[in-house]
Chain A
Amino acid sequence: MTAMAEQRFTSKTFLLFSGLLIWAAHFMFVYSANAVACERGLQDFQVLGIGLIPLTVMVATLAALAAAGYVLLTAIGWLGPLHGEAHDDPSSAFVRQITIVLSLISIVAITLSALPSLVVSPCEGLPQLVQGR
């Protein structure tokens, strides 16, 4: 594989998966942040009148949505043509279309993952619920 073809392959593969990778990064972050905050007793800590945990989830979600939105716009082509791409090439069109829909699915998935933080109390678990706390 020539250096250019290799670069094209790497950038295309990365772009194709980037929406889902952003979802994965967001998911791991909010899950870990919540686990650490609950385990270390930070659930009652408030910033600007909002609980630390929901606020963290909210900020992370906005950042992830912005990043996934950027991928979407890049794939649609609103941010200029992709590196080294020929427009009549069917495989480029294919990668572009798949990337667009995958980033849309990622945006939905990021939103669905974040929604519970608006309604669910962060740290209560089954033991507390069973004990009626």
Chain B
Amino acid sequence: MTVADDQRHKPTAEQKRKRTYPNTVPRPEDELPKLREPWVPPQGWRIFSAVNNTYVGLAYIAVGLIIFVLAGVLAVLMRTQLAVPENTLIGHTLYNQLFTMHGTMMMFLFAVPIVEAFGILLLPNILGTRELPFPRLSAYALWIYTFGGLAFFFSLFFGIAPDGGWFMYTPLTDSRFSPGVNADIWLLGIGFIEIAAIAGAVEIIVGFAKTRAPGMSIDKIPIFAWAMLIFALMIVFAFPALILGTVLLEIERAFGWPFFMAEKGGDPLLWQHLFWFFGHPEVYIIFIPAAGIVSMIIPAMAQTPLVGHRLVILALIAMGVLSFGLWVHHMYATGLPQLSLGFFSGASMSVAIASGIQVFAWIATIASGRLRATTPALFVVAFLIVFTIGGVTGVMVASVPFDWQVHDTYFVVAHFHYVLVGGMVLPVLAAIYYWYPTVSRKPLSERVGKWVFWLFVIGLNVAFFPMHITGLMGMPRRVYTYLAVMEWDLLNMISTIGAYMMATAIALLIFDILRNFQFSFSENVGNIWNAGTLEWMRTYTYGTRSIPEVDSRYPLWSRPKLSDETDEGRYYLPGTLTGKREALITGPIDARPVYVMVVPGPHWGPFLAGIATTLFFYLLTFKLIMPAIFFGIVALGFVLWWIWDLDHGPLRDPAHVGGGYVLPVYMSGSANHSWWGTVSLILVAGAFFACLVFSYFFLWLVNPNAWPPAGISLPSLVWPAAAAALYLASSGAIHLGSRTLRLAGNSNQWHLRLLLVLAPVLFIAAVGVQGWAEWQTGLRPTDHSYGAMVYLFAAVQGFYACLLLVMAGFTVARSLAGKLNSVRRVTFDNTMLLWHYAAVQGLVALVILSLFPRGLG
């Protein structure tokens, strides 16, 4: 229970019965200028400090499209090389880099970021909020993606681009077989996209839960928002496996800790498990938002509500979860036991049920309305056909015996391009045509659009359909040339012609985008499709003038005057309470107004931190450790700079926002949006730790009678017991700090500061004791995978120790600056949440490392 609960008034029964507006008109004259003022975007070169979702989202999409074009050029180069047999245009070294870069860029640098970008641009308007909760975080994600992604591409021009395939299998990519920096560029370059994707996911999860328009209860949320929620949750649970995989491989390459080297107790299959535990959900991570796009476009184009709204949502949820049980179907040829493969075959069939529900809902919607043959509608219809073909070949390769025949052939290349281009690129193209009028004064040309459509869709079938046959004829993937006697030349030539048709289509699209783009939100083309969802209302840099009340899934259809009424300021929060950027925070299920969030404005921190982070990763790639650490610290400094003014406390007394609601402008505890952000990050950390534990048990399994290896004894139980006591004491100190803060308030905070100094010391001591005890037994991380795993657990806790040290220091600094008290305590609460989590994780690690090997003995 917080201060605000006492002061919040609910609308009276009479207000509910009568259709009254939350606010009366006319509004005071000075209200609109005051609302507009804090939202004015930075001008000139200061635009790089902009953090508004509209600017960040658009820039994000633009960079995504640039990457798409660049990765597409690489594909055209490869198809040119393969057009004729024994071609000498491109050698094998460059070809290896081309297919690795094409796959990596399309999957990591185009597919994930561009759907995230659509989310950041559109979700605030779709949900009816002025802004998502963490705009500076989104801006940071944009900049590291932009700088990191483009630098990644330019590695091609220096011959140091990654060349181990987009899934970078070991042992090919370990330091013995890939000694150059190419593999490091991949491993550290992917770091950018891991951070950017997770930052975006946190933004989307909290935005979905907390910033919906009043009345948009859980049963009235548009499907695209649901799809983005599932997408974000999947990132939270899938990306940690990739992060762990890249960390392990980089540590093995740099320091020789053997996680994947078989001769030292490692196992290359561990890489495949970790990669595909991420990699298969990844396919759904990019497909689910695309499905969300389709579920928005079809009702608008058929002018009828989506049939089976609830069924589509549950299909999205089911796909999101079941897709985590499919990873081994990329590993059918690795020699795993047949029954294990059977479990995955079963899960593959289950996910087809969920996919099927959705496809039938779309077909039923088209059948129940009258589909207009516009460019977005055409792309959606093509999506249904092409994706279904890809789905059918998917069922074929999900069957183990068939997969063994076509594994690593062009059949698989055909299958996944049908699924990915059909399932993701076609909906994204549809989305560009569909939503373009929300950001430009002129729409895209329908006439050019039809050309783009036919060229692209015919081109993709001409390019990829013959690959099924070349695959069945035995042509392997990833070969840079082939002999004429194989008789693959005609089919390859046809594929190349198709690739050129697709490239022409994209060139036409870009030309049309550039020709018609006249950036404007307030004077955009408007609702040319007569769609029913909120993003088609009249919006400005601050979103809508007032925040509408939603009473159906298609508010603009049920109340055609909603946009005008909102514009008059009849709905919630038509002005500003604090003179700053604000958004309305609502409850996660029923979307009742809870408090008014002050939204962070423009800041240079995200841009500068983006540059410093990019330098950190690339300097690390070239083993320039000290400069890398320097820029890492600089990046951290910029992050701390931008969050310094976020925990502002109650800037004023609670005030009317309309509809009888008197809301506070600050809340702490679980009502606060950043509490939800921290919980989301803890889920990421938990998933990472679960993958770490999985890796430990996996390596135990492949090392019978060598866990620990001969000659190594376990440290006495006294040491882990001491480390556990230190973790508990550290967490206890923070708990005590929380009590002290509640009681002491603003007055004497010396006790609190002392506890915040003591707690990290205890935590660091716990990690130190654990590591030191292992070191005394003679165990070294480079000798065997057992030692590597043991020290990895310690290293992970060491990472948390550093993080908590910074957070404790930051909290003490805020206390010294008078920015922390019993009410204004969000900074402390977030530190406390992560602290308790890290301590519990440390305890679990101690139990596993100390008791599991003993239990076996």
Q: Give me the interface of A with B, judged by CB distance under 8 Å.
A: 1-3, 5-6, 8-9, 12, 16-17, 20-21, 23-24, 27, 30-32, 34-36, 38-40, 53, 89-91, 93-95, 97-98, 101-102, 105, 108-109, 112-117, 120-127, 129
Using known A-B contacts A109-B347, A112-B347, A116-B346, determine if residue A24 contacts B321 with beta carbons closer than 8 Å.
yes
In angstroms, Cα B340 to Cα A116, docked, is 9
Contact of B337 among A9, A32, A35, A102 (CB under 8 A): A35
**Does B219 contact A113, Cβ atoms closer than 8 Å?**
no
Instruction: Determine whether the beta carbon of B322 is less than 8 Å from that of A94.
Output: no
Chain B residue with Cβ nearest A101: B314
A93-B219 contact in complex given A101-B314, A102-B317, A102-B318, C-beta closer than 8 Å: yes
A-B contact pairs, 9 of them (CB 8 A): A9-B589, A20-B321, A23-B322, A34-B340, A35-B340, A91-B589, A105-B314, A115-B342, A116-B346
Most chain A CB neighbours (cut-off 10 Å) among B311, B340, B697: B340
On chain B, the number of residues with a Cβ less than 8 Å from chain A's Cβ atoms is: 45
- Encode contact with A along B346-385: 1 for CB under 8 Å, 0 otherwise: 1101100110000000000000000000000000000000
Which residues from chain B sit less than 8 Å from chain A, CB to CB?
A: 1, 5, 217-219, 310-311, 313-314, 317-318, 321-322, 324-325, 332-340, 342-343, 345-347, 349-350, 353-354, 404, 587-590, 594, 670-671, 697, 701-702, 704
- List, in ascending order, chain B residues with CB within 8 A of A89's CB: 590
* Cβ contact within 8 Å between A113 and B347: yes
Q: List the 4 closest pairs (A to B, CB-CB), nearest first.
A: A116-B342, A94-B219, A109-B350, A112-B346
Q: Is the pair B337, A38 in contact by a Cβ cutoff of 8 Å?
A: yes
B197 to chain A, nearest CB (A): 22
A18 to B314, CA, bound (A): 13
Measured between beta carbons, the chain B residues less than 8 angstroms from A1 are 587-588, 594, 670-671
Could you count the A-B residue pairs with CB atoms below 8 Å apart for me: how many are there? 133
* Contact (Cβ within 8 A) B342 A94: no
With A24-B321, A116-B339, A117-B339 as known contacts, state yes or no: A95 contacts B218, CB within 8 Å.
yes
Interface of A is mostly: helix
Name the contact of B336 in the complex, choosing from A3, A91, A125 (C-beta under 8 A): A125
- Chain A residues contacting B350 (CB-CB under 8 Å) are 105, 108-109, 112-113
Given contacts A8-B589, A20-B322, could you give 18 more A-B pairs where the C-beta distance is less than 8 Å?
A2-B5, A17-B321, A35-B340, A91-B219, A94-B217, A94-B218, A98-B310, A98-B313, A102-B314, A105-B318, A105-B353, A108-B353, A112-B347, A112-B350, A113-B343, A117-B339, A120-B339, A124-B337
Query: What residues of chain B lie closer than 8 Å to A9, measured between beta carbons?
Result: 587-589
Chain B residues near A30 (CB, 8 Å)? 343
Q: Which residue of B lies closest to A43 (CB)?
A: B337
For the complex, what is the distance from the CA of A8 to the CA of B218, rounded to whole Å?
A: 13
**Given A20-B318, A34-B337, A91-B219, A120 contacting B342 (CB threshold 8 A):** yes
Bound together, the chains give a CA A97 to CA B697 distance in angstroms of: 39
A127–B217 alpha-carbon span in the complex (Å): 55
Chain A residues with Cβ under 8 A from B670's Cβ? 1, 6
Q: How far is the CA of A2 from the CA of B670 in the complex (A)?
A: 9
Q: Determine if B337 and A98 form an interchain contact, defined as CB atoms under 8 angstroms apart.
A: no
Chain B's nearest CB lies how many Å from the CB of A119?
8
Q: Identify A12's interface contact among B321, B337, B589, CB under 8 A.
A: B589
List of B residues within 8 angstroms of A2 by Cβ: 1, 5
CB distance from B247 to the nearest CB of A (A): 22
Q: Taking the nearest CB of chain A, how far is it from the CB of B704, in angstroms?
A: 7
> How far, in whole Å, are A34 and B335 apart by their CA atoms in the complex?
14
Q: How far is the CA of A72 from the CA of B219 in the complex (A)?
A: 20
Instruction: Specify which chain B residues have a CB less than 8 angstroms from the CB of A124 in the assembled complex.
Output: 337-338
Compute how far the CA of A126 lies from the CA of B321 in the bound complex, rounded to whole angstroms: 29
Chain B neighbourhood of A102, CB < 8 A: 314, 317-318
Contact partners of B702 in chain A: CB under 8 A: 39
A127 (CB) vs chain B CBs: closest residue:
B335
